[in-house]
């Protein structure tokens, strides 16, 4: 059976997210009280994670602008509001500051990662909607990029644990018959490497096989050469693209967006031309 499109009511009520289907506008968990008519099934899920101090609503416009074929986009809001009336939300376990007095992007993400892994990816997309882990791709900006890289590791660890317990519906040999489905389709991280705060929590020596793309400015203070090496220590396939300009942040031109779109094109599935009822063999 092919997966079905996720609906707002599939997700726990404490989550704030928007769902942008390939042929429909977003539906928001806070405002949608009745599930809409089913949208055409898409073989891909793109999970968008905003940056420090942003909201899901602001990032949803990017989901619409991407306009990716056969891809349902989930824009998830971070769980914690910033203090001191700063506005926006953050993914960290705590709010920390750099020696310069600025908000520290790498604040530890154990709670947020656990929520995304267990309640969004495995709990809803895999168990309820019938997707496989490898159907899910994560796109994160800044702090959201760090979270996305940790989510890739968290999903793989959760699937291995489930396999050891004999739970074949948790990404191992599921209802669709695939085995060893523990790697996400990919992770795009804008302006952020694998977080230093997660290194001490790593217990496995096996590199994650989820393909990762790091995008940053040529003078990035976050995506340094040592940070790239740290990411490559954890992920087997890492691409790095640097803007010609200074500064991190979202791409501002077609030239800056092109490596991202090329990465997405390589990682996203297409069912066009596949007869209905066909079975995927892996």
Q: How many residues does the chain have?
A: 282
Residue 245 pLDDT > 50: yes
pLDDT in the model for residue 179: 45
pLDDT band per the 50, 70, 90 thresholds, residue 27: low
State mean pLDDT over 209-215: 98
**In whole angstroms, how large is the CA radius of gyration of the chain?**
18
3-class state of residue 43 by DSSP: coil
pLDDT in the model for residue 181: 86
**Above pLDDT 90, what percent of the chain?**
69
Residue 148 pLDDT > 90: yes
CA distances from 251 to 20, 48, 117, 139, 266 (A): 21, 15, 27, 13, 19
Domains located in the chain, CATH noted: 8-267 (3.40.50.1820)
- Better pLDDT: 113 or 177: 113
3-class state of residue 245 by DSSP: coil
H-helix or E-strand containing 19?
strand 17-20
pLDDT in the model for residue 269: 87
Residue 153 pLDDT > 80: yes
First to last CA, the chain: 15
pLDDT band per the 50, 70, 90 thresholds, residue 263: very high
CA distances from 16 to 45, 80, 107, 140, 199 (A): 17, 11, 21, 16, 29
């Amino acid at each position: 059976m092919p997966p079905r499109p996720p609906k707002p009511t599939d997700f726990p009520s404490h989550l704030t997210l928007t769902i942008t289907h390939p042929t429909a506008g977003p539906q928001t968990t806070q405002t949608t009280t009745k599930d809409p008519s089913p949208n055409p099934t898409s073989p891909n899920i793109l999970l968008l994670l905003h940056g420090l101090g942003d909201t899901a609503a602001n990032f949803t416009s990017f989901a619409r602008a991407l306009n990716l074929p056969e891809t349902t986009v989930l824009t998830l809001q971070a769980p914690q509001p910033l203090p001191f009336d700063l506005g926006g939300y953050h993914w960290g376990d705590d709010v920390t500051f750099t020696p310069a007095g600025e908000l520290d992007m790498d604040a530890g993400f154990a709670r947020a990662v656990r929520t995304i892994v267990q309640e969004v990816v495995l709990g809803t997309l895999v168990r309820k909607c019938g997707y496989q882990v490898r159907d899910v791709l994560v796109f994160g900006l800044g702090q959201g990029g760090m979270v996305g890289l940790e989510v890739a590791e968290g999903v793989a660890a959760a699937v291995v644990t489930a396999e050891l317990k004999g739970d074949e519906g948790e990404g191992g040999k599921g209802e669709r018959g695939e085995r060893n489905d523990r790697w996400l389709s990919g992770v795009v991280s804008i302006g952020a490497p694998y977080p230093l705060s997660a290194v001490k929590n790593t217990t496995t020596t096996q590199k994650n096989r989820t393909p990762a793309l790091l995008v940053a400015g040529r003078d990035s203070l976050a995506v340094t050469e040592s940070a790239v090496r740290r990411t490559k220590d954890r992920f087997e396939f890492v691409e790095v693209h640097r803007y010609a300009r200074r500064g991190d942040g979202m791409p501002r031109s077609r030239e800056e967006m092109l490596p991202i779109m090329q990465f997405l094109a390589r990682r996203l599935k297409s069912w066009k031309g596949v007869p209905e009822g066909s079975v995927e063999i892996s």
